[in-house]
Structure 1
Amino acid sequence: MIRILYCTDFLMSGGVERQITELVTRLDRTRFEPHLICLYGPKAGRSLHFLSRIEAANVPVHLLDLGWSAKDKLRGWQALARLTWQIRPHIFHAVNYHSNLLSRLARPLMPPRLKLIGAVRTEYTTKQLRYEQLSWRLCATIVYNSPHLQRQLTEQAKVPMSRVLMIPNGVDIERFSQNPQPDLRQTIAPDARRVLVMPGRITRQKSQHLLAQAIGLLKERQQLPTNLRVILVGEHEDAAIQAEIDSAIERHQLQDVIHQFGQTDCPEAYYHAGDVTVLASLWEGMPNVALESLAAGRPVIISEAANAAGVIVQNETGWVVKTGDVESLTETLHDVLHLPDSALVAMQHSCLHRAADFSMARMVNTYESLYSRLIL
């Protein structure tokens, strides 16, 4: 039995958190014994959206509930060292940025035979890459989820190819291909001919305000279909971005067009309620929203930065727009919103076919093979 201690920054309703939840709850429990540390929670203003699901799978969870101060980071560093001696894992798997940083700082205090797995799941800043360059030797392997991140690691952080491994994100195709709430569209967008869905936490990274501004421009130019509805779904995190969304809605009188809903345990219902998904992120690793939308058979309007992994193919599974460019998004929206229904229906097969490349079972099996190789 291989004991694995995972460490994640958060368990809020986010893409990284969904991936780690799927992984720890799907492991073969006859071969692997998962435990999980979560660094941040209510004290840092973060929800614990996935906690109940992980605990329901009988995975022990250690919530440190750190704040943002240097003293909290010191407490976290000490806790990681203490818990590795208490749990005695064969593998410590750090999932995201702070968990990577603290686990590498604590590595000299951990059991010497423990194998440390690092992870890079999104684009790093120059400072973060410098930390990676200084600390990669402490890791047995560093996992990344997209080809463009491999270039960052090997070319900029100077990590040897022998120490990195690509494991793309997975999507639960069986789950997202089914529509659990067929009446949701009529409930949230009654009689709409076109419905755009934009899932994701309200943050600068996701930049939902760009969609609101683009819809406003269409209305200003008298190009906005009267029977359009735009659905934003996600946890409110950044008050400044929310203010920009509200400002665009107020300025262009879009109260009847744009509707917001909070975090959900059933994102697949919203994908199926829509015709097209929008992802305007300023940066992404492997975009979970795009994978989930494809599995639901829905094409994606996506920014170049969000599509750095090349998940969406232009005019086959969606449309790529310039990052942070409201005009580019506006022009693409105009074209997409005036497509005939038959064109969107024809894209569904391509979306489903592309989603099959990212099955959750394949992702979990690849991680299980990695764990076995490191120990056996």
Structure 2
Amino acid sequence: MGATSWLQARIPFSRRRSYQRPRWGHTLKITCLTENLASGGAQRQLCSLAVLLKTRGWDVSVLTYFPQNFFQSYLIDNGVSHLEFDGCNRLSRIFEIRRILRNSDHDVVLSFLRTPNILAEISSFPGRKWGLVVSERTGWPNGQETRESWRTWFHYLADYVVVNSNKNRGILTFQAPWLIKKVRTIYNSVDLERFKPDSSGNQEDDVIRLLVVGRVSAEKNVFGLMRAFRKVVDCFPGKDIQLDWYGDSFKETGAGVQGPDGLFVRALKMRAALGLEKRFHFFPPTVDIAAKYQQASALILASFYEGMPNVVCEAMASGLPVLMSDVGDARELVIDGKDGFVFDSNADDDIAAKIGDFVRLPVAEKRSLGEFSRMRAVEMFGEERFVGQFADLLEAASERL
């Protein structure tokens, strides 16, 4: 649907000056704003939420401004409309989003990620006729919390601010104590029917298959993980240990990724120098990521910073042990020796040691870790809890006007 027809559908003739907003619990009209529909965790969560709200009978649309559309078919197949516009420079993008949001007849705008949050908040000034809920989905690198604190002032314009980890909630309210009554923590959701353990069992000991899901980027610590993995391979010469990385940034062009000095090119050079070409594999993103979880022995996430990693939630639901860095809510997600291991992402030796601890476990203990992961995922990441908490906030935001 083009921008014009989408706006016509959202803006009634006469602008509905006598329009009465739905009372608590009734159908709402929601516009979701984010950067794109790429295969990232934030996009997956927003699209899942849009579809879940749609199944409640709400009128939900998604607005994006960059052309990555990994999840577009998922939205369309589930009856959620999608408006994408591109070709704008940064300044004109602000005015275009402001025009769309201010001229659309919605009850609430819900934005995901930092830049869309600011765009939604700018669009709400100096006054609005709709509720506004913004959601911070990622953490901050150490030392950047203060440099990023200027963003919190825009949250004055929102009704609620959602974070997906208690760690990020603490950072945000420390930076801006005046936000404490607006901030809510809502953990990610997982489709527990789609992401579930392989009933045939996936913990064979002939191959240890570690799985990474995420962009090939500096904050994901690709170089540190590669060095640590080499140490593990050397420590277990008789073991077939493989690492499969599914992510999309290495498909892009530009010096930041694939140019002569790009991160992915440097990663390939390091892989060759370490002799890991037959063990450390890069793959493009896949729509059948659930099957990859079932085929893996464990998930590993070596990031320098995270909020609530979507891949950790999915892996736990799939019955995988999780090896992750001590970032975000890691200590609330992973109990050392119970459903995985936590390590220091800045210490290659510690990453290697925790991978080694997992490799040494007997098959039965590996399976026990996976079963405990699944049990905790069911408790923490159910879709009904997720959509219910967001629906309550969206309804409350629509009532605050």
TM-score normalized by the length of structure 2: 0.83
Name the structure 1 match of 2:50: 24
- Tell me which amino acid in the other structure corresponds to 1:223: F
Shift of the 225–173 alpha-carbon distance from structure 1 to 2, 3 Å rule, reads: farther
- What are the equivalent positions in structure 2 for 1:204-243 lying under 5 Å apart? 204-219=218-233, 221-237=234-250, 238-239=257-258, 240-243=262-265
> In the alignment, is residue 62 of structure 1 matched against residue 83 of structure 2?
yes
Name the structure 2 match of 1:273: 295
Q: Contact 2:323 / 2:342 at 8 angstroms: preserved in 1?
A: yes
> In the alignment, is residue 38 of structure 1 matched against residue 64 of structure 2?
yes
User: How big is the shift at 1:252?
Assistant: 2.2
Alpha-carbon distance between aligned partners in 2 of 1:193 and 1:308, rounded to the nearest angstrom: 27
Alpha-carbon distance between aligned partners in 1 of 2:63 and 2:343, rounded to the nearest angstrom: 38
Decide which moves more: 250-259 or 120-129.
120-129
Q: Contact 2:64 / 2:85 at 8 angstroms: preserved in 1?
A: yes
User: How big is the shift at 1:5?
Assistant: 0.8
User: How big is the shift at 1:108?
Assistant: 1.8
Deviation digits for residues 12-70 of structure 1 (CA, Å, limit 9, x no counterpart): 111001000100011145542111111222xxxxx311112112222221212256xxx
Deviation digits for residues 241-298 of structure 1 (CA, Å, limit 9, x no counterpart): 3234323321122222122211010111111111111000111111111111111111
User: How big is the shift at 1:157?
Assistant: 2.4
Name the structure 2 match of 1:130: 150
What's the RMSD between the two structures over aligned residues? Answer: 2.4
Query: Of 45, 49, 52, which residue of structure 1 is paired with 2:70?
Result: 49
User: How big is the shift at 1:194?
Assistant: 1.2
User: How big is the shift at 1:178?
Assistant: 5.0
Shift of the 222–346 alpha-carbon distance from structure 1 to 2, 3 Å rule, reads: closer
Alpha-carbon distance between aligned partners in 1 of 2:187 and 2:368, rounded to the nearest angstrom: 27
Q: How many residues align?
A: 359
Deviation digits for residues 202-252 of structure 1 (CA, Å, limit 9, x no counterpart): 111222332221122234x45344422211111134343323432332112
Decide which moves more: 210-219 or 17-26.
210-219
Query: Of 178, 196, 201, which residue of structure 2 is paired with 1:177?
Result: 196
- What are the equivalent positions in structure 2 for 1:294-313 lying under 5 Å apart? 294-305=316-327, 307-308=329-330, 310-313=332-335
- Tell me which amino acid in the other structure corresponds to 1:13: S
Deviation digits for residues 44-103 of structure 1 (CA, Å, limit 9, x no counterpart): xxx311112112222221212256xxxx22222112222124421111111111101112
> In the alignment, is residue 202 of structure 1 matched against residue 226 of structure 2?
no
Alpha-carbon distance between aligned partners in 2 of 1:213 and 1:245, rounded to the nearest angstrom: 11
Deviation digits for residues 97-133 of structure 1 (CA, Å, limit 9, x no counterpart): 1101112222226x6221111111122433322121x
Q: Contact 1:96 / 1:121 at 8 angstroms: preserved in 2?
A: yes
User: How big is the shift at 1:345?
Assistant: 1.2
- What are the equivalent positions in structure 2 for 1:142-153 lying under 5 Å apart? 142-153=161-172
Name the structure 2 match of 1:284: 306
Decide which moves more: 112-121 or 26-35.
26-35
User: How big is the shift at 1:365?
Assistant: 1.4
Alpha-carbon distance between aligned partners in 1 of 2:393 and 2:331, rounded to the nearest angstrom: 22
Name the structure 2 match of 1:165: 184
> In the alignment, is residue 82 of structure 1 matched against residue 99 of structure 2?
yes
Deviation digits for residues 325-366 of structure 1 (CA, Å, limit 9, x no counterpart): 211111112222122111101112211111011112210111
Alpha-carbon distance between aligned partners in 1 of 2:388 and 2:171, rounded to the nearest angstrom: 26
- What are the equivalent positions in structure 2 for 1:313-324 lying under 5 Å apart? 313-324=335-346
> In the alignment, is residue 254 of structure 1 matched against residue 276 of structure 2?
yes
Alpha-carbon distance between aligned partners in 1 of 2:167 and 2:240, rounded to the nearest angstrom: 39
User: How big is the shift at 1:191?
Assistant: 9.3
- Tell me which amino acid in the other structure corresponds to 1:101: I
Unaligned runs of 5+ in 1: 42-46
Q: Contact 1:280 / 1:306 at 8 angstroms: preserved in 2?
A: no
Q: Contact 1:216 / 1:249 at 8 angstroms: preserved in 2?
A: no
Name the structure 2 match of 1:96: 113
User: How big is the shift at 1:308?
Assistant: 4.2
Alpha-carbon distance between aligned partners in 2 of 1:66 and 1:280, rounded to the nearest angstrom: 35
- What are the equivalent positions in structure 2 for 1:323-334 lying under 5 Å apart? 323-334=345-356
Name the structure 1 match of 2:133: 117
> In the alignment, is residue 354 of structure 1 matched against residue 368 of structure 2?
no
User: How big is the shift at 1:318?
Assistant: 0.6
Query: How many percent identity over aligned positions?
Result: 22
Alpha-carbon distance between aligned partners in 1 of 2:166 and 2:229, rounded to the nearest angstrom: 33
User: How big is the shift at 1:307?
Assistant: 4.3
Residue aligned with 1:117, SS = strand
Q: Contact 1:286 / 1:309 at 8 angstroms: preserved in 2?
A: no
- Tell me which amino acid in the other structure corresponds to 1:370: L
- Tell me which amino acid in the other structure corresponds to 1:14: G
Residue aligned with 1:169, SS = coil
TM-score normalized by the length of structure 1: 0.88
Shift of the 97–246 alpha-carbon distance from structure 1 to 2, 3 Å rule, reads: same
